[in-house]
Amino acid sequence: MSVEVRDEEIVEKIVKGEIKLYEVEDYTGGDSFKATELRRRAIERITGVRLENIGNFSIDANRAMKANIENMIGVAQLPLGIAGPLQVKGEFADGSYFIPLATTEGALVASVNRGCTAINRSGGARSFVLRDGMARGPVLKAKSAEHAVRAARFIEENFEKLKKIAEDTDPFITLQRIEPYIVGRNLFLRFVYGTGDAMGMNMATFATDEILKFLEQELDLEHIALSGNLCVDKKPSAMNFLRGRGKTVVSEVVLKREVVKEVLKTTPEAMAEVCYRKCFVGSAQAAAYGFNAHFANIIAAIFIATGQDEAHVVEGSHGITTAEVTEDGDLYFAVTLPSLQVGTVGGGTALGTQKEALSIMGVYGPGNPPGSNAKKFAEIVAAAVLAGEVSLIGALGARHLAEAHMRLNR
């Protein structure tokens, strides 16, 4: 039987439902590239839609199907633009960096690029990682509130034993702390870990699961859910806004008055007033967790370009933009991101285009010492968010927002 005939038989069986989409690799000898093609051909036949662009890609399907996707039929392609270079000085980042941004929103790359120009002409951005810890928050059921209290005290007294259980699961994980929260007889435990250069959610999950097995046996607690929503993963929350999850990062610049005038076409006073009335009063009126202009725009574009977990844009969009006119008449401008979850190893970072995007910034792979690359990346991301905020608030102050979108987003 020829390969073409066999392939056609597999496609027909997929169409008829005799072979499920996730079973196709069983008929291709584990070759996910071939399985991707056959699934796509079957979907084309079922839907009557030609998937020419979805099927045109350079991603290693065998690699992707092992770690990143199921039932692959191809790719969803987005334009990838570059902003910068952007001068960043931090404890880990020190240089001039191009920023890869994957987006379909016209004007976004141009806006970030303009912010980079204003920052560079004012001496560059300063970025710092303030905290670093990935959280996982399971919920256990105790027999009573008293039982939950005793369990919380046991956990505090035996932290070193629990730390060893966690750290035996991975050479790059460190258990930093366990925060107990008791609601009735529900015991929530927020575990916080250092995870090296990985974003670390899976590492935290595996380590926490091992600790829970010990606690169930030792304390007669009932493990209800490995994630009890106190992590807080991929949801807006006061917990992450205040306590952080992943990297808590700040980036700042003093924009010179002449730069604000020449590059942003406005004044420090106008930008400070926009920031106050929009980011603070407007956000307070909306009861928003993000007191900023558009953190999510820049974070989403960088995350998609570099293989981050794009759902963590939710936490990444938390944060505060501040702007103050200085005694010299310049503009102090800063962004604080309490919950930026990024990594330079694991997840989607090893896929071809994502690896290249990280490499543009010099942050792909493990750092030396461990964790330094992810922190460098976080400092660059924060500076890019700073550039985006500078540009948008400048455009609002100059009343140029509609004009820019009419010109670049139509």
Beta-bridge mates of residue 181: 188
The active-site residue, picked from 9, 60, 309, 324, is 309
Helix 108-120 × helix 372-398 angle, to 10°: 100
Distance between CA atoms of residues 366 and 62, nearest Å? 23
Query: What Å distances lie between residue 130 and 37, 96, 367, CA to CA?
Result: 46, 22, 18
Residue 220 among the catalytic residues: no
Please choose, from the candidates 281, 342, 334, the residue with its C-alpha nearest in 3D space to the C-alpha of residue 310: 342
At residue 126, φ and ψ (nearest 5 deg) are: -110, 125
Q: Where are the beta strands (DSSP E) in 205-343?
A: 222-225, 246-255, 290-291, 319-325, 331-340
405 a catalytic residue = yes
Tell me if residue 167 is catalytic.
no
Q: CA 57, CA 78: separation in Å to the nearest integer?
A: 12
Q: Pick from 2, 4, 42, 3: which is nearest to 22 by CA?
A: 42
Bridge partners of residue 178, in order along the sequence = 191
CA-CA-CA-CA dihedral for 339, 341, 362, 58, to nearest 10: -140
Name the token pair of 372.
Answer: 């330094």
How far is 341 from 72, CA to CA, in rounded Å? 26
Q: What tokens were used for 245? A: 């999850």
Of 320, 329, 339, 330, which Cα lies nearest the Cα of 386? 320
Q: Please compute Rg for the chain using Cα positions.
A: 24
**Nearest-angstrom CA–CA distance, 309 and 302:** 11
**Catalytic entry in 12, 31, 105, 209:** 105
Taking Cα atoms as reference points, which of 256, 251, 322, 268 lies closest to residue 291? 322
Torsion angle in degrees (nearest 10) through CA of 334, 339, 340, 346: 170
Residues labelled catalytic: 105, 309, 405
